[in-house]
Amino acid sequence: MPCLAIAHLITVHIGIMYGFIHLNQRYILKQEPTTKELPTDLRNKTVEQLRSLRDLDMDEISLGTESGDDWTLDRVHKGYHAEGIIEQCAKLDEAGIRYWHTFLNGVAGRSHSREHAIISAKVFSQTNPMLVGAGGLTLFPGTPLLEEAERGEFDPLSEAEMLEELLLFVENLSCDCHFTTHHTVGGYNLSGPDFLARKDAIVAALRHQIAHGDLDRMGRIRASKRSL
């Protein structure tokens, strides 16, 4: 069944949430609702309230975590820390709601890349996500990070460094989940279920790409992007 994706639904009053989902089920699209949230959006919701949403078929949440490293989270003004990610995911686990994590490859810059990769993987591994997705940072015109990079206040990663950071993240990730990324390396699609069973193959593919891939071409593709 198709999904109805809604951003930050959980932040509204619980009664409004219930009403919207009921209307969707009875009169509008009759699609399974899913919502895109931040860990901060879950703070004022109890496990019982979350269970009520699950009972209305809202049983998947996409968490825009981006990092599990406190320094990086502060750097990009996310408004939460690793402890909050773990606490709110525990509530979702108890409520029986599945969730996704996102790792934003490159967002910490060169100076904090290693910490961003390793700590994020270790924090995510303390939770039970159904999916972990890795997306690569692109500096679009008009965005704060591009402006900071132009002023020398942000040190973006090269394509090789992006892959090295992703490799570190994968090496330190230990939760079994569906793993997805936009990277296709050496003809091998890194995305798929059963991450732990495929982990060694993903690591090998990333190492091969770092050593032998056409990184200049990858850089030109990223530079040519103007939107997501």
- Alpha-carbon span 106 to 161, nearest angstrom: 8
Q: pTM of the full predicted structure?
A: 0.83
Q: Which amino acid is at 125?
A: S
Q: Which amino acid is at 70?
A: D
CA proximity to 4, closest of 14, 227, 20 = 20
| Contact yes or no for 154/148 (Cβ under 8 A) | yes
Q: What confidence tens digit (pLDDT) does each residue in 103-124 have?
A: 999 999 999 999 999 999 999 9
* β-bridge partners, 192: 179
CB within 8 A of 177, min separation 6: which ones? 129, 130, 131, 132, 195
- Alpha-carbon span 53 to 81, nearest angstrom: 25
Q: What confidence tens digit (pLDDT) does each residue in 36-87 have?
A: 778 888 888 899 999 988 887 778 898 989 999 999 999 999 999 999 999 9
- Residues 8, 91, 13, CA angle at the centre, nearest 5°? 35
DSSP string, 28-88: S---EEEEEE-GGGGTT--HHHHHHHHHTT--EEEE--B---HHHHHHTT-S--HHHHHHH
**Quick one: pLDDT band at residue 228, thresholds 50, 70, 90?**
low
What is the CATH class of 36-224? alpha beta
Provide the pLDDT for residue 14: 52
78 vs 40, 63, 69, CA distance in Å? 9, 12, 11
